[in-house]
Amino acid sequence: MSMQAAAPVPAYLPAGSPAARATGLSKVYGQGETQVVALDSVSLEFGRGRFTAIMGPSGSGKSTLMHCMAGLDSISAGSAQIGETELSSLNDRQLTRLRRDSVGFVFQAFNLLPTLTALENITLPMAIAGRKPDQQWLDTVVTTVGLSGRLNHRPSQLSGGQQQRVAVARALASRPEIVFADEPTGNLDSRSGAEVLGFLRESVRELGQTVVMVTHDPVAAAYADRVVFLADGRLIDELLSPTAEGVLDRMRHFDTAARTS
């Protein structure tokens, strides 16, 4: 594994091959009368070294898209790729390995083990995988998320924001191809939320990580390089270099369009 942090990709340069790609991706839950089309032929690329936010009203398919792209849920039609790997071509064991080696997760609930220290929580997935952490990378990640002085604390001795930073460090520790964050600031006050979002953004800009985040919050979305908007399982719009006001404007526009259609 390389000891060098990847060079950040300046926001104005076109991305190279995407870290993940959905092509005509559909997801249907249930059958007959109870059938729900959660995703309706979504085509989308997540650029490598980019920070993408997924927004849309409740029930629009955000979590479904993230779960399908992360190999946590099967797809009904189309294609979902991480790097060059087609997820539907993998059996369960291969999928588990891909999730372990190539994907990092940050959830709204921090999901830390209470009896382990911060450092043990961060390195646990790699320990389970039987991989030795790259010490220099681990140091970089821990410094980036500002946890250097807290590594021997247990989760109960940390604030919510610090706990979520441990979860971010855990997601970054194995240097995955892509990190998926599902409302990572949903349980945090605005200051802690801003810190966590700042670290996610830094992981992209400074460490070259690829991050995809589901959020309802225009302020959170403004930390991303790009916002994609879903409605009724379809991709309806996107915004590059978003500001919170720009995102809010776009959301108001969708609301008005939905009311008058």
Helix orientation angle between 118-128 and 135-144, rounded to the nearest 10 degrees: 140
**How many CB atoms within 10 Å of residue 37?**
16
- Minimum Å distance from CB 153 to ligand ATP? 31
- Minimum Å distance from CB 228 to ligand ATP? 12
Q: Which is nearer to ligand ATP, 60 or 185 (CB)?
A: 60
Q: Pull the structure tokens for residue 96.
A: 């588990």
Work out whether strand 51-55 and strand 211-214 pair parallel, antiparallel, or are unpaired: parallel
Residue with the two structure tokens 């950040």: 8
Residue pair 210/19 in contact by the 8 Å Cβ criterion = yes
Residue pair 65/39 in contact by the 8 Å Cβ criterion = yes
Nearest CA-CA partner of 235 in 9, 62, 68, 109:
62
- Minimum Å distance from CB 243 to ligand ATP? 22
Residue pair 103/83 in contact by the 8 Å Cβ criterion = no
Work out whether strand 36-46 and strand 178-182 pair parallel, antiparallel, or are unpaired: unpaired
- Minimum Å distance from CB 160 to ligand ATP? 20
Q: Which is nearer to ligand ATP, 70 or 118 (CB)?
A: 70
- Minimum Å distance from CB 143 to ligand ATP? 33
Q: Which is nearer to ligand ATP, 23 or 63 (CB)?
A: 63
- Minimum Å distance from CB 178 to ligand ATP? 18
Q: Which is nearer to ligand ATP, 2 or 58 (CB)?
A: 58
Q: Which is nearer to ligand ATP, 46 or 137 (CB)?
A: 46
- Minimum Å distance from CB 221 to ligand ATP? 13
Q: Which is nearer to ligand ATP, 29 or 94 (CB)?
A: 29
Q: Give residues in contact with ligand ATP (CB under 6 A).
A: 29-30, 36, 38, 56, 58-64
The burial of 107, by beta-carbon neighbours within 10 Å (0-12 exposed, 13-18 middle, 19 or more buried), is given as: middle
d(CA 57, CA 41): 18
Helix orientation angle between 160-173 and 135-144, rounded to the nearest 10 degrees: 150
Q: Which is nearer to ligand ATP, 60 or 209 (CB)?
A: 60
d(CA 110, CA 100): 18
